[in-house]
A and B are shown apart, each in its own frame.
Chain A
Amino acid sequence: MKPEYFRTFVESLDKFGTLYGPVYRNGVLTWDTPESFDDLVFGGEHTMIPIKKLFHPPRFDMFRFDSDGFTPDYSSIEKRVIVGVPPCEIHSLLRLDEVFMEKPVDPYYAKQRENSAIIGYSCLPSENCFCKSTGTDIVEEGFDLFFVDLGEFYLVWVGSSLGHDMVLVHEDYFDDNVTHDDIKKYIAWRKKRDGMFTKSFDFRSMPDLMELSYDSPIWEQFAEKCLSCGQCTMVCPTCNCYNVTDIPDVSDTLSGRRERHWDSCMFVDYSLVAGGHNFRGARADRLKLWYTHKLRAYASEYGKPACVGCGRCVETCPVEINVLTVAEALVTMEVPAR
């Protein structure tokens, strides 16, 4: 597809649902509805909050309740077309699927998934990206359409029947004749992109190192720096933990809503039970849980790390505790100074 068609094509997608994409809100890039095509930011920087917010919202009502009991609230679910989704974010949704789509299926997440089309868009690594190390730099599934921006033209992968329907709306924009020259350009683009990564880590060596380092002093050293602020979990595209709270209506204590909101395993009350016993009262235990879960536990369950290499924890953590520094410490047995 020629670049000049891209705008009209994206604009045509609104017949498949409300358009969402990376847009600036209050100076922060986030997933939201654009006012026009010009608001959308393609192929560039990451949003601060990952795409999980559209499927596992930071805060939403699960139920309304009154004296007759609980009624599910699915009012936030709408048909959506999400454009400009980078490979790591597509992978993160596949990881979240493993949790939320496993039986019993979470109906809130499932309905958002079923009603959302994913239009992927290639990107070039920025300073903190290391998706090549986590094997999430390319996608084979999890999208309806995927646009690879090769400058002169877009290479478009069609990933679903819905994606094919979208192509059919402007069939004349697409040329299904892929020439040898096109392939060469694609290979050259990949080579250029692969050479741009400045950060990496050896994921394959992590699961057993995690296991061996269970009692390592590095956890205590990281814990001394950690602020338990939970930002790493909020910006992590695969963090799925949530809390549930009942909020009675102001006017009537018998009615109200049951709300689900993001929780963080970095928070001190994460494993606190009634009676005051806290299974993870120590900061080191909570940090260890997160990294065990990302780098080892998830892998032994699903065969891949829960980390998609987006680099958000690298950007966000105020005290430089992130997948890269932890991985480094696991190898060198020393917490990086910096």
Chain B
Amino acid sequence: MMQSEKRENPFLPEPARIVRQYDLIKNHRFFQIRHVDMSRAMSFTYDPGQFLMLSIPGVGEAPFSISSTPSRPGILELGIRRTGKLTDALFRLRDNDTVYIRGPYGNGFKLDQMRNKDILIVAGGLGVIPLRSILYYVLDNRDQFDRLFFLYGARSPEEMLFRTEFFQLKERTDIECLYTVDKGSKDWTEEVGVVTKLFRHLPEIDPEHVNAVVCGPPVMYKFVIQELLKLKIPKNQIQMTLERRMKCGVGKCGHCVLDHLYTCIDGPVFTYWDTLHFRELI
């Protein structure tokens, strides 16, 4: 497949191989994939917060957040919940099987306004998948950012994604990790309750100096944003990444439209300020 052909047809999926995969929790699997074309794999880059369109021929195509960081090139990581036809088929694939991808798409997080600021990452459930990209990006470029706070809430200890990985992060001194689950268990030593309960453990912050990034189930936004506003973080310094139905990724198919914006090209990252103009956002 020629590069020129790819440029000419933005819908043309490129082959990629599943390098490694394992279950994160029940029905949630971690995939490492790499373009079959090695030079393409090594030169492929993206921004934290962008997404891919992933195809399985004969089954279909859907958008998936990239969970890896561009600071670690060569491998693309996805965290996927089994929840439909395409993901059913994906979960049946094995290592070294081929999938097809195109992208990266979307705007990604607003890194320019985040540099040299305190970064507050707030994740709920599966929302941690796209935020893991910015989390590792900040950790890999630690000198470009000020303090880093990572707040993550899951339903139960068993449903916490990347549990081992995230508990290892707690040993680092350059990040403050705060975890909670709705329902604890006897070996759970962290907070119990909804994710907003974690805010009281935060040290004093200068709200103008903070950039918050949020992702979680639709019900979570309202409560998390209330907390962020209580802290007086400016509305355009609260970023969230949104989910929508998408069929093209490049602003043509219409499905992800929000007013005159398309989630796929103008998002998926929007600020809270944006959502005040576009009332359908959250």
Tell whether A279 pairs with B247 under 8 Å between CB atoms, given A271-B255, A274-B62, A301-B260: no
Tell whether A274 pairs with B83 under 8 Å between CB atoms, given A69-B15, A245-B60: yes
Cβ contact within 8 Å between B259 and A241: no
Q: Which of A214, A243, A275, A277 contacts B247 (CB 8 A)?
A: A243
- Binding site secondary structure of chain B: loop
Size of the A side of the interface (Cβ < 8 Å), in residues, is 47
B54: shortest Cβ distance to chain A, in Å?
A: 12
Cβ contact within 8 Å between A72 and B243: no
**Nearest A residue to B217 by beta-carbon distance?**
A277
**Nearest A residue to B10 by beta-carbon distance?**
A104
Bound state CA distance, A300 and B258, in angstroms? Answer: 13
- CB contacts (< 8 Å) of A271 on chain B: these are 244-245, 255
Cβ contact within 8 Å between B251 and A99: yes
Nearest 4 CB-CB pairings of A with B: A241-B254, A297-B260, A104-B10, A65-B57
Does chain A have a CB within 8 A of B231?
A: no
- CB contacts (< 8 Å) of B58 on chain A: these are 65, 246, 248, 253-254, 256
Cβ contact within 8 Å between B255 and A297: no
Cβ contact within 8 Å between B244 and A240: no
5 A-B contacts, Cβ less than 8 Å apart? A72-B5, A107-B10, A253-B58, A272-B245, A297-B259
**Quick one: CB contact mask for A56-76 with B, threshold 8 Å, 1 for yes?**
000000110110011010000
**Quick one: CB contact mask for A218-256 with B, threshold 8 Å, 1 for yes?**
000000000000000000000011111110100001101
- CB contacts (< 8 Å) of A246 on chain B: these are 55, 57-61
- CB contacts (< 8 Å) of B73 on chain A: these are none
Cβ contact within 8 Å between B57 and A70: yes
Bound state CA distance, A63 and B61, in angstroms? Answer: 13
Show the binding face of A for B, using Cβ within 8 Å: 62-63, 65-66, 69-70, 72, 99-100, 102, 104-107, 214, 240-246, 248, 253-254, 256, 258, 263, 265, 270-275, 277, 279-280, 285, 289, 292-293, 296-298, 300-301
Does chain A have a CB within 8 A of B13?
A: yes
**Nearest A residue to B8 by beta-carbon distance?**
A107
Does chain A have a CB within 8 A of B87?
A: yes
Cβ contact within 8 Å between B250 and A104: yes
Q: Which of A70, A106, A275, A285 has the most CB of B within 10 A?
A: A70
Does chain A have a CB within 8 A of B280?
A: yes
Bound state CA distance, A53 and B259, in angstroms? Answer: 25
Cβ contact within 8 Å between A69 and B62: no
A97: shortest Cβ distance to chain B, in Å?
A: 12
- CB contacts (< 8 Å) of A296 on chain B: these are 259-260
Bound state CA distance, A102 and B255, in angstroms? Answer: 17
Cβ contact within 8 Å between A263 and B253: yes
Does chain A have a CB within 8 A of B39?
A: no
